[in-house]
């Protein structure tokens, strides 16, 4: 969940002590929350916000790929996003904490067909494990930023990542 800190909003977020999702409750329907359409029917969405935090915002359906345009354009003032988004780097947005863990954790996990793993051998599994260990949230954010904001190709970013970590 994000709040874009424009000068006016910085004053407002300081006045309202916005640091956690729980802080949104006091703002009531003034909170225009954007999220994927299914947000309204999920516990990791409107149901959990209401049950765990008592937060019942004005919901605005926003396609995932338009999340940041919606918050920057003022269609919403809070947006549900992914913690690995490159747009979170640079200080334009404030990430609100989720102390009740409504939104859980969505870690990257490699999945390989057993027949492929058997055919490729132990060195392949070792490489997969090395890459997996390096895919931290900050690393993924940096790579996502390079693709979504800096407009580098995903292939180039992946190659740079592997080379920088001695895997290419």
Residue ranges in the chain modelled with pLDDT below 50: 2-14
Please tell me the distance from the alpha carbon of residue 128 to that of residue 131, in angstroms, as a whole number.
Answer: 5
Q: Give the pLDDT of residue 3.
A: 45
- Residue from 108, 115, 109 nearest 137 by CA: 108
Neighbours of 144 (CB within 10 A): 19
Question: In the structure encoding, which two tokens stand for residue 51, read together?
Answer: 């049950």
Please state the pTM of the whole predicted model: 0.80
Q: In which element (H, E) is residue 114 found?
A: helix 114-120
Give the angle 118-124-145 at the CA atoms, nearest 5°. 130
Q: Give the pLDDT of residue 5.
A: 44
DSSP per residue over 1-67, as a string? -EE---HHHHHHHHHTT-SBGGGGGGGGGG-EEEE-GGGGG-IIIIIHIIIII---PEEEE--GGGH
Q: Give the pLDDT of residue 15.
A: 52
The fold adopted by the segment(s) 2-95 is D-Maltodextrin-Binding Protein; domain 2 (3.40.190)
Q: Give the pLDDT of residue 143.
A: 97
Residue 39 to residues 45, 57, 103, 129, 133, Cα–Cα distance (Å): 5, 12, 11, 33, 30
Q: Give the pLDDT of residue 1.
A: 53
Q: Give the pLDDT of residue 53.
A: 97
Q: Give the pLDDT of residue 86.
A: 95
Q: Which residues in the chain are classed under CATH 3.40.190.120?
A: 2-95
Regarding beta strands 2-3 and 58-61, do their DSSP bridges make them parallel or antiparallel, or are they unpaired?
unpaired
């Amino acid at each position: 969940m994000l709040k874009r800190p424009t000068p006016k909003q910085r004053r407002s977020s300081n006045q309202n002590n916005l640091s956690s999702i729980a802080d949104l409750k006091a703002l009531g329907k003034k909170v225009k929350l954007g999220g994927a359409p299914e947000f309204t029917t999920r516990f990791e969405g409107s149901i959990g916000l209401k049950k765990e935090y008592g937060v019942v915002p004005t919901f605005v359906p926003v396609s995932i790929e338009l999340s940041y345009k919606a918050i920057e354009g003022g269609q919403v003032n809070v947006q549900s996003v992914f913690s690995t988004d490159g747009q979170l780097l640079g200080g334009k947005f404030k990430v609100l904490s989720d102390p009740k863990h409504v939104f859980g954790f969505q870690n990257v996990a490699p999945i390989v067909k057993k027949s492929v793993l058997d055919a490729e051998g132990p060195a392949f599994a070792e490489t997969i494990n090395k890459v997996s260990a390096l895919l931290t949230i900050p690393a993924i954010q940096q790579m996502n930023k390079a693709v979504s904001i800096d407009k580098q190709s995903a292939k180039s970013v992946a190659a740079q990542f592997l080379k920088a970590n001695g895997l290419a």
